[in-house]
Structure 1
Amino acid sequence: MYRRTILQSFKLAWGGVQFIFTSERNMKIHCVFAVLAVISSFVFRITEIEFIFVIFAIALVMITEAANTAFELLLDYVHGDRYHPDIKLLKDILAGAVLISALNAFVVGIVIFMPKIVKVGLSICKL
């Protein structure tokens, strides 16, 4: 059995990350929102705990999108181009997992950023 070095394993994993970010439109969209969330974190000077929640929410979305992509590729490989309602259901469930994680990230963003946005808005209105 061939054993990879840690560096070889890292290179293979990085190749998977590159594939997802270059081939999946939804991952690109998630990435844009992730960058906006991180920039907003610095602009609004959120606490360390709040930042951890933001990072975990981002990671959860990215992980579920990666798993969704991997399982969809596997289903396509195993089942081919033929339509089957069970395969459709599996893909819908996978997409649902991504949706749940994205909604979670949205709620985390609202809870953390909305009070700060309102505070800035009120201070601008007082000018």
Structure 2
Amino acid sequence: MPMDSKDKRTAKNKHFIASLEFALQGIKTVFKEERNMRTHVLMGGATIIVGIILRLAISEWLWLLLAIFLVLVMEIINTVFENVVDMVTDFHFHPIGKKIKDMAAGAVLLTSGFAVVVGVLLFVPKIWQIIQDFL
């Protein structure tokens, strides 16, 4: 059933490939529009390179990748909340909108803290061992 031009509803997407294209467009959009996302991707890439250099074990890779992807997912969710608040408030300040944005940003901060802890637990002992072997 074709939608009338006055009907602003969107139809549910029923094709996997189309769904995949929309999801990839969403990732591309957040990467393009959000400086923090680009920073998280850069830092995640750097930690992956360090992990390769330090020859992480498979269990260590699982923790590292979990931390990296949690931060990226939380940044996407944070961006979604920011955009929804801006849309609903038409970019005008609203105290509840501020609370929502602050809480979403706090979720990214907590997840980033978790990622730092994982990085410290994985990398510091290995780097310390390299330093001891060198001396």
Q: Above 0.5 in TM-score?
A: yes
Q: 2:73 aligns with which of 50, 63, 73?
A: 63
Q: 1:44 aligns with which of 54, 75, 84?
A: 54
- Figure out how many residues of one structure are paired with residues of the other and give that number: 125
**Structure 2, unpaired ranges of 5+:** 1-10
TM-score, scaled relative to structure 1 = 0.94
TM-score, scaled relative to structure 2 = 0.89
**Structure 1, unpaired ranges of 5+:** none
Give the whole-Å Cα distance in 2 for the aligned partners of 1:111 and 1:33: 17
Give the whole-Å Cα distance in 1 for the aligned partners of 2:115 and 2:121: 10
Residue matched to 1:32:
42
TM-fit CA distance, 1:123: 2.0
Over the residues paired in the alignment, what is the CA RMSD in angstroms? 1.1
Residue matched to 1:15:
25
Structure with max Cα Rg: 2
Residue matched to 1:80:
90
Q: Highest relative contact order (Cα 8 Å, sep 6+), 1 or 2?
A: 1
Q: Aligned residues: percent identity?
A: 33
SS in 2 for 1:101: helix
The verdict on how the C-alpha distance between 1:118 and 1:71 changes in structure 2, with shifts beyond 3 A counting, is same
Residue matched to 2:117:
107
Give the whole-Å Cα distance in 2 for the aligned partners of 1:27 and 1:87: 21
Contact 2:13 2:19 in 1 (8 A): no
Runs of 4+ in structure 1 deviating by more than 4 angstroms, as ranges, are: none
SS in 2 for 1:102: helix
The structure with more helix, counted as a fraction of residues? 1
Q: 1:4 aligns with which of 1, 5, 14?
A: 14
